Amino acid sequence: MVAHPPVLALRGISKRFGGVQALVDVDLQVRAGEVVALAGDNGAGKSTLVKAISGVSPADRGIIEWEGRLVQIKRPHDAHALGIATVYQDLAMCDNLDVVGNLFLGREIDRVGVLDEVEMERRARDLMRALSISIPDVRIPVAALSAGQRQAVAISRSLMGAPKVLLLDEPTAALGVEQTSHLLDLIEEVRDHGMAIILISHNMGDIKAVADRVAVLRLGRNNGLFDVSTVTQEQIISAVTGAADNAVAHRVKGDEEAWP
């Protein structure tokens, strides 16, 4: 996995809202086929960072590199064009439409304006099968799906445009144990297809289960970057809560240089 160059690299990202400095010189990298968890307490700047990457609310300062070249992300469209897909916490689904309708919303397959339902349904089934997503039928309204199934559909919808980076904002927050397990399977499945995934999560269990690395934000700054295979849960938590402020702040520098 280390052989891949970063798909997306952020350096020195800063963002200010009025008098509040939401992000200060934040660095983050993610490679193809890798899950990077973004952890941090409430107000640490996770969502602000996601919005900066997805173009919803661009950063004030900082450099964004896409596959090694400098890019600007000023609008959601820019992120989309690069190949960055975002699944927000609220999912933004049309409850009345069926799974097929939601998957293809805004990019329907048609012939002179007339929907090709058969082709869309076929592709939807193929996608569900490829990702091993378990839903009763692609023709039932998403309102009839469980929270976990809705989350899975939202993620597969974000994959429709063949993105290279997937941002997941607290995907397991509303899920039960069983559904979370399915979702983590799905994340691994997607990762194994060569996607770079940034997973925002509060949940140490989720992070330890699927992430390869975990980047901790605290008060808008990098507060640690750990390899999940070697770090303990306590170390992450102390970075999140700030119990290890100084020590980790030093480690960050070392770590960042160590990553090629």
Partner 1 sequence: MSRERPHRDGGPAGADGAGPVTADSRPRPRGWSGNLRDYALEVRGSVRDGERGPLLVIAGLIVIWIVFQALDDKFLSPRNLSNLSVEIVGTGLVAVGIVFVLLIREIDLSVGSVSGLAGAAFAVLNVNQGVPEWLAVIVAVAVGMAVGAFHGFFFAWLGVPAFVVTLAGLLIWNGLTLYLLGASGTINIDEEGLVASLTSRHFGDDLAAYAVAALGTAGYFLAAHRKRSRHRAAGMPYRQTPEIWVRTGVLAAVSFTAAYTLNRFQGLPFALLIFLTVLVVSDYVLRRTRYGRRVYALGGGVEAARRAGIGVERVRVAMFMVSGTLAAFGGLFVASGLTSASPTTARAAGSGMLLINAIAAAVIGGTSLFGGRGSPWSVLLGVLVIQSIASGMGLLGVEDAVQFMITGGVLLAAVAADALTRRTEARRGRP
Interface positions with partner 1 (CB under 8 A): 35, 90-97, 101-102, 105-108, 110, 113-115, 118-119, 121-122, 125, 128-130, 132-137, 139-141, 143-147, 172, 177, 180-181, 184-185, 188-189, 191-192, 203-212, 228-233
Which of these, 161, 159, 160, 141, lies nearest to 93 by C-alpha position?
A: 141
Q: How far is the CB of 219 from partner 1 (least distance, A)?
A: 26
Q: Which tokens go with 226?
A: 């750990």
**Amino acid at site 244:** A
| 72 versus 232: smaller Cβ distance to partner 1 | 232
DSSP 91: -
Q: How far is the CB of 152 from partner 1 (least distance, A)?
A: 11
| 232 versus 253: smaller Cβ distance to partner 1 | 232
Q: How far is the CB of 126 from partner 1 (least distance, A)?
A: 11
| 50 versus 209: smaller Cβ distance to partner 1 | 209
Q: Which tokens go with 259?
A: 């990553």
Distance CA(171)–CA(37), nearest Å, equals 12
| 25 versus 96: smaller Cβ distance to partner 1 | 96
Is there a contact between 86 and 65 (Cβ–Cβ < 8 Å)? no
**Per DSSP, which regions of the chain are E strands?**
6-17, 20-31, 35-40, 61-66, 69-71, 84-87, 110-111, 114-115, 165-169, 196-200, 213-218, 221-227
Q: How far is the CB of 195 from partner 1 (least distance, A)?
A: 12
Q: How far is the CB of 182 from partner 1 (least distance, A)?
A: 8
| 141 versus 242: smaller Cβ distance to partner 1 | 141
Q: How far is the CB of 78 from partner 1 (least distance, A)?
A: 14
| 182 versus 218: smaller Cβ distance to partner 1 | 182
**Longest CA span, the chain:** 62
